[in-house]
């Protein structure tokens, strides 16, 4: 019965909802959908019914990662719920965790439009929000007193303003955001430190070993109460990436996320006619998949015994998610696949993972992590 409902949901999304959504401006659609999700999240009978269809309640998917219990490995990546609207509804969609943000010290209204665009042939999104968010104070005030059914993380980055023109100011800005989060009563399970958004106008970077070292010393000098995962760039070479991992592994950081948006407009997965429509911004979805997988494998082979790896980029199916897991990712995040395939995708992936894990003889998903040699 559940599989039939999911097939009907997929059909309705592809044939009715998606064509309608894709007529309108993607950012306007995003705002409408997240507002609707926020409303639904507080209607208990509706979320109860959604859970009956979407929750894959099976211990084979459950694992404890860095002291956090995840009932399934599929999460919503930072960049979607940057107004903290969806913490109450996402468990009913089937997600195992969610990252709010990226949130910055000061609010930022976003880069000039268009901030979102669809590349249908490329199966990608153009993203140029530049950490659009309400700022840490308003975000914390909104979440105070909330109960979270799944692990909720907070993604933190530097305020996107040219006034942060030097490393010292950027460090103070980020550290102050962490301090406010730490001093709040919002029950976040983890932090993401987003050092890799390619759409910022801040005149600093954290990619060089020296700058990354300074940042991690500043962020972790006062022992944080929650695990920290660093959101990594996608466009660095293997040697550069290993150099960054060497620095990260020296600090009380629990893991890394591979990876952020793809900047290469000449990537063969992108259709040039679609790229020409968007002079500014970077790309999510399928253009990020190949390099994301390469970096997951690289990180697992070099630092898999020290750092938890979270995979992100180009997840449109259970096969996409399972490949990242077998390459070394303990958890998997997505956004673009959700938009192209529909909200039932999360349940499809989790139910599909149960089947694939059993077929491969695994008793728990943790056994599959890094099993692809």
The alpha helices in 152-237, defined as continuous H runs, are: 167-183, 209-220
Residues 151-199 pLDDT 10s: 999 999 999 887 776 888 889 999 999 999 999 999 999 999 999 777 6
Domain count, the chain: 1
Tally the C-alpha atoms within 13 A of residue 201's C-alpha that lie toward its C-beta. Answer: 13
**pLDDT for 66-106, tens place per residue?**
999 999 999 999 999 999 999 999 999 999 999 998 999 99
Residue 74 lies in a domain: yes
Residue 309 lies in a domain: yes
**Positions of E strands within 128-270:** 152-156, 190-194, 228-231, 255-258
Strand partners, 332: 74, 311
Instruction: Give the model confidence (pLDDT) of 192-242 as tens digits.
Output: 999 977 767 766 788 889 999 999 999 999 889 999 999 999 999 999 999
CB 321 within 8 A of CB 315: yes
Q: What is the pLDDT of residues 250-284, one digit of tens each?
A: 999 999 999 888 888 888 889 999 888 888 888 99
What pTM did the predictor assign?
0.94
d(CA 292, CA 270): 16
Assess if residue 128 is contained within a domain: yes
Q: Provide the CATH number for the domain around residue 344.
A: 3.20.20.70
Range of the domain at 29: 2-368
In a domain, 373, yes or no: no
Task: Report pLDDT digits (tens) over 129-150.
Answer: 888 999 999 999 999 999 999 9
Residue 205: inside a domain? yes
């Amino acid at each position: 019965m559940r599989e039939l409902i999911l097939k009907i949901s997929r059909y309705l999304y592809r044939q009715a909802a998606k064509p309608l959504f894709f007529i309108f401006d993607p950012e306007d659609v995003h705002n409408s959908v997240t507002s609707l999700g926020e409303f639904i999240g507080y209607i208990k009978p509706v979320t109860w019914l959604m859970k009956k269809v979407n929750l894959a309640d099976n211990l084979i998917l459950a694992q404890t990662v860095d002291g956090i219990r995840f009932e399934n490995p599929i999460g919503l990546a930072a960049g979607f719920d940057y107004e903290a609207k969806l913490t109450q509804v996402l468990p009913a969609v089937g997600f195992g965790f969610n990252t709010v943000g990226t949130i910055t010290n000061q609010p930022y209204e976003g880069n000039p439009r268009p901030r979102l665009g669809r590349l249908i042939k490329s199966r990608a999104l153009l993203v140029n929000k530049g950490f659009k968010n309400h700022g840490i104070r308003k975000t914390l005030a909104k979440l105070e007193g909330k109960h979270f059914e799944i692990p909720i993380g907070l993604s933190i980055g530097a305020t996107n303003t040219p006034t942060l023109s030097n490393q010292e100011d950027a460090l103070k800005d980020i550290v102050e955001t962490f301090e406010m989060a730490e001093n709040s009563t919002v029950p976040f399970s983890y932090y993401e430190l987003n050092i890799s958004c390619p759409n910022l106008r801040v005149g600093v970077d954290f990619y060089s070993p020296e700058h990354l070292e300074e940042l991690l010393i500043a962020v972790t000098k006062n022992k944080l109460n929650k695990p920290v995962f660093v959101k990594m760039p996608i466009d660095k070479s293997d040697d550069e990436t290993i150099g960054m991992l060497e620095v990260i592994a020296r600090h009380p950081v629990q893991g890394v996320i591979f990876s952020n948006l793809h900047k290469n407009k000449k990537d063969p997965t992108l259709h040039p006619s679609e790229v020409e429509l968007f002079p500014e911004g970077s790309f999510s979805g399928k253009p990020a998949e190949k390099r994301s997988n390469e970096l997951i494998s690289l990180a697992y082979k070099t630092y898999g015994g020290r750092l938890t790896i979270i995979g992100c980029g180009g997840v449109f199916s259970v096969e996409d998610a399972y490949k990242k897991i077998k390459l070394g990712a303990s958890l998997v995040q997505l956004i673009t696949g959700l938009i192209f395939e529909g909200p039932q995708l999360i349940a499809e992936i989790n139910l599909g993972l149960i089947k694939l894990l059993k077929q491969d003889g695994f008793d728990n998903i943790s056994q599959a992590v890094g099993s692809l040699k």
